[in-house]
């Protein structure tokens, strides 16, 4: 295979790979996979917040239980003093018991509120984890569907990639660098060929002098009008 034939084939391969890439990106499963990933990130953020709040509520309950136990012990101590029959301290003991009872009542009220909040947080955490698991299942199903539906395309992409390596190996570094630069500049359509005295892409008719110069410049030149690589040899379609 001549260098200009390898160059034209390289461009054809790259254009086909670009089309295959667009087809892969347009597969509906891709959007669904992306949506599942986005939903999982959102759920993860919510779950982190819920878990933090749940742990805080658990600590609050532990503190409340410890405080309640302390007040119970204190109440028992004050009642024990009352049973000793020291009537001079009766008023003080009654005040202490009343104060302790109010504190316990407040703790018990807050404990119930915190306990109810903990139950809501535990339920929210279970729901979030269930949703995360369902999103994992949905993503896995979409990925499997994507791989089934794109098996032919991926096989073709691998085949083209192997052939591309052979075409690249057939070109010298300078030609390959010029091709890469032109492909980037022109969105992949980097090479054209002469059809008579007209470049196949820009379609600007060459003046006789330019046509003669290009024909003597070698099999791979540069179009003087659009600056794509120009194959000057006749190539069969």
Tens digit of each residue's pLDDT (9 = 90 or more) over 38-80: 999 999 999 999 999 999 999 999 988 888 888 888 887 777 7
Instruction: Give the domain range for residue 65.
Output: 28-149
Q: Angle 173-185/3-25 helices, nearest 10 degrees?
A: 40
Tallying the residues shown for the chain, one arrives at: 237
pLDDT tens for residues 70-106?
888 888 777 777 776 665 566 777 787 788 788 888 8
Q: Is residue 20 part of a domain?
A: no
Final residue of a structural domain among 149, 180, 202? 149
List, in sequence order, the alpha helices (H) in the chain.
3-25, 28-83, 90-149, 151-169, 173-185, 208-215
Beta bridge partners of 198: 195
Q: Is residue 158 part of a domain?
A: no
CB–CB of 183/14 below 8 Å?
yes
Q: Provide the whole-model pTM.
A: 0.59
What is the DSSP-derived secondary structure letter of residue 88? G
What is the DSSP-derived secondary structure letter of residue 87? G
Residue 33 and residue 145 in one domain: yes
Q: What is the DSSP string of 94-108?
A: HHHHHHHHHHHHHHH
Residue 178 and residue 103 in one domain: no
């Amino acid at each position: 295979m001549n260098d200009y034939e390898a160059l034209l084939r390289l461009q054809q391969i790259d254009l086909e790979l670009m089309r295959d890439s667009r087809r892969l990106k347009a597969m509906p499963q891709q959007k669904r996979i992306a949506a599942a990933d986005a939903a999982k990130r959102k759920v993860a953020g919510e779950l982190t917040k819920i878990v933090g709040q749940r742990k805080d509520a658990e600590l609050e309950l532990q503190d409340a239980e410890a405080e309640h136990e302390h007040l119970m012990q204190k109440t028992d101590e004050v009642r024990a003093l009352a049973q000793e029959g020291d009537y001079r301290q009766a008023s003080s003991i009654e005040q202490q018991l009343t104060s302790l009872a109010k504190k316990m009542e407040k703790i018990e009220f807050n404990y119930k509120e915190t306990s109810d909040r903990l139950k809501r947080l535990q339920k929210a955490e279970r729901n979030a984890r269930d949703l995360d698991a369902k999103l994992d299942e949905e993503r896995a199903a979409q990925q499997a569907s994507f791989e089934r539906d794109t098996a032919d395309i991926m096989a073709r992409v691998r085949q083209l990639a192997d052939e591309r390596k052979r075409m690249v190996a057939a070109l010298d570094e300078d030609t390959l660098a010029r091709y890469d630069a032109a492909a980037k500049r022109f969105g992949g359509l980097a090479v054209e060929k002469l059809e008579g005295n007209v470049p196949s892409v820009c379609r600007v008719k060459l003046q006789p002098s330019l046509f003669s110069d290009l024909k003597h410049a070698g099999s791979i030149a540069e179009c003087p009008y659009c600056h794509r690589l120009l194959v000057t040899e006749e190539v069969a379609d």
